[in-house]
Each structure stands twice: as structure tokens, then as C-alpha cells.
């Protein structure tokens, strides 16, 4: 399955679960790591069940007990956890006070679940799954001035300090005002040695292909002087995605970079999206290797002509299949919003909805079957907005016409 589609479906269920509020502390979240003993989990749940019998509120007690029963039932069908473990969410999702509608959701995570968790709260506990949405990419952070330097990796939102070094470069403004030409020359030689050492370290750690970008920081102009010099190799220089001012060159400085890096990362994905959109709009406007519109794109997908499927994240359309219970006549329609009632064209009977699918998922699956790439386009950029408003949010870059 295409990764973009997996991510999309995963995000969709998370968004849905995030929106659910319990009427009391009655929503249960369970995380089961791979290789976890299911019999042990059942025991734990039975213990939670007897604890829950003490809950004061009658309504909450009823819902919690009901949810635990549902979970116990569900895990009977799971003799051992799947490869990456599994997360189960269960509770009363009815929005009307006093009403009860206990639902159970099983979520297969994109990454292994690290630790077993049981939570009962007024919301579902989603943090471990939300963390899995963090990118795998590693960024390098280099902070440098004349006194010290720090190298770190940025993995998602996590910082890993690689090295911290203090220099022995004397200060230019030495007490006593001694400032002969010879003394300044010595300082510059020491500074050059220092920058060389830091450059070598950065080259060693950041040349690795897993490092997707490098951010350079530090106070004042020293970092620019360092970058203009020949201290970093071509590979690492090419990876520089941002230069930021920080007050510190130690771990505090790394945290400053992290605070500012959100913007840089966002810009990176924005740039990628802008480029994609520029290409699409240019091709579409000259009648080149691009097409748009639901029918046109679906046809192109079915013919295997699509190189990259472009879909606006803002699309909330559904593909709905109606079937006539009397004569069997079927119809597929794309619907935005509420699903309307439909009468059969052939015999006039009221048709039944027999299938509902998110339009994005339907098209992404078609793309996947023909080896086309799928790119979800945000509406954060001018081009992304234009794509949604002018081109209807469905487009494709074609392999051929």
C-alpha cells in the first residue's frame, strides 16, 4: 500500500478518535506491544473490571464495565499481537447526556508500540500514536562560535547531542589592551584550527545519507564566517536548510534551534509542494502532461497514464454506491456532505446505499494499483489553495498523453 495512503488513513482515524469526548472518565485506551502476552492482558483487564465496580457514578460505571467487556471479547480474537502490536480504543461515544453507544476501534500502528498502556479517561489517549507521525528523517544541528561548538541530531522532535567542544581560542579583546599584530595573528591561527576541527566533525557526522538536512546556528556573525570558509565539505554544505541566530552554542542553543526548526521544516515541505504545484499548473495550462477533474483523473488512472496523483487534503467527498432492491440497478456517485435519498432510474423504487468510500482513498488505491505516486496537497500555500479552488482539488501529472 502506498505510504501516503497509509498515512492518510492513519491520520484520519486519529483525527476521529481525537474528537471524541466522554461524558465521564469512561474512554479506555489500550496499547499492546508486539510479543505481549495476551493472557496477561486479559488478567489485567479483569482486575480493572473489578476496580471499576467501585466507580460512584452509575452511568460512568456502566459504560466503563461495558467497555472492558467489549475489549475482553475483542482480544479473544487476537491470540497474539500483530507484528507492530495493536492499539484498542473503546468507550461510550454517544454525545447526548445519558445515552450510551459503546464502540470499539482497533488501530494498527505504522511503527511498533513500545510499551503496554491502559488508560481510562474522558478522552482517548493518543500520544503514542501521534508520536509515530513524526518524521523518521534525521537533521543535523551545528552550533558554532569562537568559544564553543555543539553538534546534535534532531530526530522528529527529539534532540540527541553528539558532541560538545570548548575551544582554546583566546579572546580578541584581551584584558590589558595588549594587541600586537603578532598576537592577533596567533589568535587567527588558533581560530582557523578550531573551525577546521569542528568542520571535520560535522563532515564526519552529517555526510551520512540518513541526515536529510543541516541547520547551522550560533550567536553573531561567526557562523557565517565559518560557512564561507572551506571547513565543511560539499556534501554537508549542500544539505544546509537553515541558518539561525541563537543566543547560546550549547544544549540551550540546540533547543533554540528546535523552537525555530518547525518553521524551517514546514518551509521545506512547502517548497516541495510549491514545486509540484508549479509543474502541474504549467502543464495543465499548456495542455501538456497533466490533467484534472474527477472523471478525467479517474480515467487516466484506469489507463495507467498517471505518474503522480495530486489530491487536495481539503476534499471531503465520498464515493457512494446505490443499488435498487427491486430491479438490481446500480449507480456510483460522488457526494459532498450528506448522502441524499435516490430513486431508481429504471423502476422508481428507493435505492439503498450499499457502499461508501472516501474519494481520496478510492483514487489513491487506483493509483497504487498502477504504480502511480500519491501526493496530498495542503491548502497552506497559495498554489495549494488555487489547486483546490480552480482545479477542484483533483489532478494528475501524466506519464504520457
Calpha distance 114→105 (Å, rounded): 19
Q: Minimum Å distance from CB 2 to Zn ion? A: 37
| Shortest reach from residue 328's CB to Zn ion, in Å | 7
CB of 318 to Zn ion, least distance (A): 22
Identify which range of 142-150, 260-268, 300-308, 317-325 contacts Zn ion by CB under 5 A: 317-325
Residues 327-366 that bind Zn ion (CB under 5 A): 327, 329, 344, 346-347, 349
If you search the block for the grid coordinates 534525521, which residue do you land on?
138
Regarding 159 and contact with Zn ion (CB under 5 A), the answer is no
The full length of the chain comes to 401
89: left (phi over 0), alpha (psi -120 to 50) or beta: beta
Q: Kindly tell me which of 302 and 349 has the beta carbon lying closer to Zn ion.
A: 349
Number of residues that bind Zn ion (CB under 5 A): 8
Q: Which is nearer to Zn ion, 186 or 347 (CB)?
A: 347
Give least dist CB 352 to Zn ion, A. 11
Minimum Å distance from CB 357 to Zn ion?
Answer: 22
Nearer to Zn ion, 130 or 350 (CB): 350
Q: How far is the CB of 118 from Zn ion (least distance, A)?
A: 51
DSSP result, 325-379: TTT--EEEEEEESSPPP-B-TTT-PBPEEEEEEEHHHHHHHHHHHTT-EEEEE-S
Please identify, using beta-carbon distances, which residue of 136 and 330 lies nearer to Zn ion: 330
Shortest gap between Cβ of 340 and Zn ion (angstroms)?
A: 17
Nearest CB to Zn ion, comparing residues 349 and 382: 349
Q: Find the binder of Zn ion among 324, 359, 366, 367 (CB under 5 A).
A: 324
Q: Quick count: other Cβ atoms within 10 Å of Cβ 262?
A: 10
Nearer to Zn ion, 342 or 373 (CB): 342
Rounded least distance, CB 17 to Zn ion, Å: 39
If DSSP codes are grouped into helix, strand and coil, which group holds residue 119? strand
Closest to Zn ion by CB, 324 or 376: 324
Residues 6+ apart with CB under 8 A from 294: 334, 359, 392, 394
- Where does residue 391 rank: exposed (0-12), middle (13-18), buried (19+ CB within 10 A)? buried
**385: Cα separation from own chain's centroid:** 20
Q: Is 326 in the site for Zn ion (CB under 5 A)?
A: yes
Q: Is 322 in the site for Zn ion (CB under 5 A)?
A: no
CB atoms under 10 Å from CB of 35, counted, come to: 10
In angstroms, what is the minimal distance from the CB of 327 to Zn ion?
A: 3
Site stretch for Zn ion (CB under 5 A), options 259-267, 284-292, 297-305, 319-327? 319-327
* Residue 226 vs 322, nearer CB to Zn ion: 322
> Whole-angstrom Cα distance, residue 195 to residue 216?
13
Residue 348 C-beta: closest distance to Zn ion, Å: 7
Closest to Zn ion by CB, 270 vs 327, is 327
99 or 354: CB nearest Zn ion = 354
User: Residue 375 in contact with residue 310, Cβ under 8 Å?
Assistant: yes
Q: Which stretch binds Zn ion (CB under 5 A): 208-216, 231-239, 290-298, 322-330?
A: 322-330
User: Residue 165: beta bridge partners?
Assistant: 149
Residues 6+ apart with CB under 8 A from 90: 27, 28, 30, 67, 68, 70, 71, 74, 102, 103, 104, 105
Burial 197-208 (b: 16+ CB within 10 A, else e): ebbebbbebbee
Q: Between residue 262 and residue 301, which ones bind Zn ion under the rule CB under 5 A? A: none
Which residues contact Zn ion by CB under 5 A?
324, 326-327, 329, 344, 346-347, 349
Amino acid at each position: 500500500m502506498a505510504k501516503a495512503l497509509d498515512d492518510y488513513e492513519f491520520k484520519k482515524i486519529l483525527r476521529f478518535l481525537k474528537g471524541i469526548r466522554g461524558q465521564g472518565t469512561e474512554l479506555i485506551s489500550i496499547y499492546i506491544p508486539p510479543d505481549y502476552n495476551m493472557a496477561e492482558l486479559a488478567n489485567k483487564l479483569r482486575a480493572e473490571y473489578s476496580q471499576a465496580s467501585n466507580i460512584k457514578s452509575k452511568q460512568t460505571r456502566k459504560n466503563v464495565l461495558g467497555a472492558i467487556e467489549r475489549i475482553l471479547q475483542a482480544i479473544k480474537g487476537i491470540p497474539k499481537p500483530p507484528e507492530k502490536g495493536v492499539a484498542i480504543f473503546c468507550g461510550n461515544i454517544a454525545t447526548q447526556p445519558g445515552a450510551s453507544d459503546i464502540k470499539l476501534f482497533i488501530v494498527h500502528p505504522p511503527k511498533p508500540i513500545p510499551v503496554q498502556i491502559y488508560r481510562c479517561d474522558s478522552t482517548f489517549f493518543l500520544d503514542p500514536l501521534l508520536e509515530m507521525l513524526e518524521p523518521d528523517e534525521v537533521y543535523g544541528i551545528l552550533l558554532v562560535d569562537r568559544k564553543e561548538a555543539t553538534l546534535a541530531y534532531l530526530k522528529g522532535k527529539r534532540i540527541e547531542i553528539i558532541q560538545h567542544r570548548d575551544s582554546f581560542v583566546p579572546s580578541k579583546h584581551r584584558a590589558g589592551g595588549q594587541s600586537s599584530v603578532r598576537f592577533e595573528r596567533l589568535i587567527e591561527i588558533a581560530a582557523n584550527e578550531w573551525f577546521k576541527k569542528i568542520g571535520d566533525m560535522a563532515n564526519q557526522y552529517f555526510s551520512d545519507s540518513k541526515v536529510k538536512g543541516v541547520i547551522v546556528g550560533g550567536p553573531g556573525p561567526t557562523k557565517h564566517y565559518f560557512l564561507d570558509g572551506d571547513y565543511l565539505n560539499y556534501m554537508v554544505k549542500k544539505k544546509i536548510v537553515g541558518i539561525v541566530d541563537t543566543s547560546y552554542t550549547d544544549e540551550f542553543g540546540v533547543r533554540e534551534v528546535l523552537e525555530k526548526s518547525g518553521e524551517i521544516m514546514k518551509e521545506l515541505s512547502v517548497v516541495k509542494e510549491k514545486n509540484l504545484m508549479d509543474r502541474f499548473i504549467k502543464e495543465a495550462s499548456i495542455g501538456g502532461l497533466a490533467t484534472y477533474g474527477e472523471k478525467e483523473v479517474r480515467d487516466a488512472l484506469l489507463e495507467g497514464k498517471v505518474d503522480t496523483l495530486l489530491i487536495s487534503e481539503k476534499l471531503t467527498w465520498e464515493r457512494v454506491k446505490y443499488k435498487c432492491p427491486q430491479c438490481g440497478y446500480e449507480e456510483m456517485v460522488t457526494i459532498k456532505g450528506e448522502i441524499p435519498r435516490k430513486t431508481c432510474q429504471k423502476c422508481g423504487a428507493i435505492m439503498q446505499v450499499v457502499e461508501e468510500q472516501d474519494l481520496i482513498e478510492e483514487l489513491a488505491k487506483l493509483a497504487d494499483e498502477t504504480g502511480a505516486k500519491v501526493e496530498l496537497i495542503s491548502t497552506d500555500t497559495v498554489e495549494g489553495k488555487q489547486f483546490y479552488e480552480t482545479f477542484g482539488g483533483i489532478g494528475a501529472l501524466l506519464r504520457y498523453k
